[in-house]
Homo-oligomer: A and B are copies of this chain.
Amino acid sequence: MSDIENIRKKTLTDAELKPLLEAAVFVAGKPLSVARMKEILLADYRLSTKRIKVILNQLKEDYNDRGIELVEVASGYRFQAQTAHNEQLLALFKEKAPRFSRALLETLVLIAYKQPITRGEIEEIRGVAVSSYIIKTLQERGWVKVIGHKEVPGRPSLYGTNKEFLDYFSLTSLSQLPQLMAVTELSDEPKPSNEPQTSKGSELAKIAELSVSH
């Protein structure tokens, strides 16, 4: 409680002022101006700007050889890490790479294969609702985008893949995907090679229902 008495006395030695200013700059959360130090922190004292600046300069020197430094920026004083350590310190902020959910991957694959496709159509195939979060994530990632709207009630968005999607997986074309899968898949199911025309035809027929707005 001696601190309170000190305040009442309205005097402050340099030895008292220095740690106080030091702590204030450290905890302020943003650069602290001398004016603010005077207004808020030391409202009960009459302290000159000059005296505060002298103390701040002493503090600057105190931190000369340390891991952090006291710097003056436009809006006041702040402590920051010495630039020399930036490289190593950045490691602290590396977040662990998140993993995509199964639902997201399946949605992505469906968009890739059946583009242009609506969310409703994806849901129909997957049998479950597709969360907006998944679509948003895929769009933010730059893998998927809205390429038009289906001319049915509600005009739902039609999704397709971007080049970034192929780039990410080092593919030159989507046609490489099923080939890759055929190689990786151990089950040797015979491919239905007997009806390529009809299948293409039905795909195209399906496209026929679509119109694109702009």
B88, A41: Cβ atoms closer than 8 Å: yes
Complex Cα distance, B42 from A64, in Å, reads: 23
A108 to chain B, nearest CB (A): 26
Q: Which residues from chain B contact A94 at a C-beta distance below 8 Å?
A: 40
Asked whether B92 lies within 8 Å of A20 as measured between CB atoms, the reply is no
Pairwise interchain contact A85-B40, C-beta atoms closer than 8 A: no
A143 at interface by CB-CB < 8 Å = no
A18-B67, A21-B67, A22-B67 given as contacts; is B28 within 8 A of A88 (CB)? no
- Residues in B whose Cβ lies below 8 Å from that of A79: 26
What's the tally of chain A residues with a CB closer than 8 Å to chain B?
34
Contact present for A85 and B20 (CB under 8 Å): yes
Tell me whether A40 and B82 are in contact (CB under 8 A): no
- Within 84-110 of A, Cβ neighbours of B (below 8 Å) are at 84-85, 87-89, 91-92, 94
Q: Give residues in A with beta carbon < 8 Å to B.
A: 3-4, 7, 18-24, 26-28, 32, 36, 40-43, 65-68, 79, 81-82, 84-85, 87-89, 91-92, 94
| 7 nearest A-B pairs in the assembled complex, by CB-CB distance | A23-B67, A22-B67, A19-B67, A23-B81, A23-B85, A40-B91, A27-B81
Extra contacts besides A3-B85, A20-B85 (5): CB < 8 Å = A19-B65, A21-B67, A22-B68, A24-B67, A43-B91
